[in-house]
Amino acid sequence: MGAWGYCLFQSDHDFDMVSDLSHEAGLTKLGKDARVSAKAAGKSDEDIERDIFYSIYANLCSDPELVRRHLDSGILVDMIAKKETKMLTPRTTGLKEKLFGDWSTDPCYEYILLGACAMTLGCQLPATYLAMLKKVYTEGGVMPDGQRQMKKALFGPGGYKNGEPYDFKSKTILEEANSKPAKEPEDNGRGFMLMNVPGPGGFFNTGMTTTSTSLVIKELRSQLNKPNECGGCGVASRPKGEALLACGKCKNRKYCSTSCQKKHWKIHEKVCESAKVSL
């Protein structure tokens, strides 16, 4: 349930998600077929188990190049589209979620981790996907160190380039655990030892935004699902029935007045294509 470090790929949460993404990408079947072929070719069970293991995360994969080609055949593009739709679809929050929190996988975190995994393989990431990642990489519960890793990959220097495997330089869980100070963990007073740190997502609240609380995700959803409403107050037309005004920078957000636009700018600037230019 926890994490040994605050970077990407240092938590049970991340590796559970990597396993799910790998299965969704068809790597379970790909590996099974490869093991059957190897067995037919006379390889021993020991050699097969040692040599054939496919994952969407390159550091856990025996043949990253094969998996990269598999994903670049169109499978990755389909996965991205599905994850983006899920991320931008409003989530329903029932009584259980309000009382105990949401235990399910955060769609934004999954969207970001999919990109990180694809980068480790050197996949071809669509420009539209990279543009969206630049808007949401701080959201969905990604830990601060993970955010810094994604920022470097997306903006540089030495950032990700399509076709070139990218190293996030995350220590493995074992390396991170072994780098901890050599001292006995303290009893938390409830009869067990706290060996690591709370991980992102699930039961533990790390203080990061989720898909349900993120203003960035809320704005992106509103732009997509309510394109003909004022971003500030939600009206469908200006006071005299005139058409809404469009944001002069991105053209993707509409407003009933410059006053409404200025009040909404602190939120919209986070996703506006020319966000660094003031109104």
CA distances from 253 to 103, 114, 176 (A): 33, 28, 44
pLDDT of the residue at 278: 37
Give the pLDDT score at 94: 57
For residue 173, being part of any structural domain is answered with no
Domains of the chain: total? 2
Q: Collect all residues with Cβ–Cβ distance below 8 Å to 166 and sequence separation of at least 6.
A: 119, 120, 122, 153, 159, 160
Q: Look at residue 207 in the predicted model and tell me its pLDDT.
A: 58
Cβ atoms 255, 226 nearer than 8 A? no
* Residuewise pLDDT in 10s, the chain (279 residues): 567 788 999 988 899 999 999 999 999 999 999 999 999 999 999 999 999 999 999 999 999 999 999 999 999 999 999 999 999 998 765 555 454 445 568 999 999 999 999 999 999 999 999 999 999 999 988 988 999 999 999 999 999 999 999 999 998 877 877 776 655 555 555 554 445 666 665 544 555 778 888 999 999 999 999 999 999 999 999 988 899 999 999 988 999 999 999 999 999 998 997 644 433
**Structural domain includes residue 63:** yes
Residue 16 resides in a domain: yes
Q: Name residue 197's beta-bridge partners.
A: 3
Condensed to tens digits (0 to 9), the pLDDT of residues 127-179 reads 999 999 999 999 988 988 999 999 999 999 999 999 999 999 998 877 877 77
Q: Identify the domain boundary among 122, 142, 162.
A: 162
Please tell me whether residues 138 and 24 are part of one structural domain.
Answer: yes
What's the angle, vertex CA 82, arms to CA 78 and CA 88, rounded to 5? Answer: 145
Instruction: Tell me whether residue 211 is in a domain.
Output: no
CA distance 143 to 116: 14
Measured between alpha carbons, how far is 207 from 198 in angstroms, rounded to an integer?
11
CB 56 within 8 A of CB 22: yes
- pLDDT for the residue 185: 52
Residue owning tokens 């410059």: 258
**Considering 127, 162, 197, which residue would you say is the last residue of a domain?**
162
Q: Find the domain containing 18 and state its range.
A: 2-162
